[in-house]
Amino acid sequence: MPGTSAARGELEEFLAVAISPELLELALTHRSYSYENGGTGHNERLEFLGDSILGQAVTVMLYRNNPNLDEGDLAKRRASLVSSVALAEVARTIDLGRHLRLGRGEELTGGRDKSSILADTVEAIIGAAYLDAGGDAATDLVLRLIAPLLQDPERFGAAMDPKTSLQELASRQGKGLPRYEVSDSGPDHSKRFHAIVSLGGENIAEGDGTSKKQAEMAAALEAWTTLSSATV
């Protein structure tokens, strides 16, 4: 069940952005809930908007704060900060999962902790902030949300090349080479890719993206994060 009104108040206080209750509710509504409730609104349009705001805010911040980095390094850092794994990590720190409006199918399959759903919801909230509070407030929200990621250089390094980092970590742990299985869905002009990474025949992480490479990288970073946490 979605969070109580008190819990929702805690979320609004953390976000510190003036988003109307109706728009915030929309941002928290997954398409699975919409499909099971007569086609009510869901957050995919807000997610589309928020993705653009997120990318611009992170790009400008990296450009200004790293005058000595070339285009390639800036692009890698941006990719690591806006990845579904990074955004899902942000979402978990604020317990965003308990506020989601999900359909029964997603509820039963652990949708409240799926990285792809959490990441998409973060983007939808950013989009909602832009609509109700304006560009400056939305940018400030983005920078507050990603600030903890910038303080973790080890993880940041792995995010720059997650497939290599995962392979090296798995080798050190004696788990063998990662294997990737990728599927796609949607029309040709707007395909989505889903990757599953396994070690020793066991599926350990999943990732989504708009290309096969992006999905594999998201899955690899999720797997790297899981394996690293297990050794702490």
List the binding residues.
47, 120, 123
Active-site choice (10, 13, 36, 51): 51
Q: 110-121 burial by CB neighbour count: b if 16+ within 10 A, else e?
A: ebbebbbbbbbb
Query: Is 123 noted as a catalytic residue in this protein?
Result: yes
At 68, list the tokens.
């000595």
Measured in residues, the chain has a length of 232
Return the SS3 of 205: strand
Active-site choice (89, 106, 123, 222): 123
Cα separation values, 135 from 129, 130, 181, Å: 8, 5, 39
What's at 90, amino acid-wise? V
Name 196's bridge partners: 181, 206
Query: Is 51 noted as a catalytic residue in this protein?
Result: yes
List binding-site positions for Mg(2+).
Answer: 47, 120, 123
In the chain, alpha helices (H):
5-15, 21-27, 31-36, 44-65, 71-82, 84-93, 104-108, 115-133, 135-150, 153-160, 162-172, 212-230
Distance of CA 102 to the CA centre of its chain: 17
Catalytic annotation, residues:
51, 123
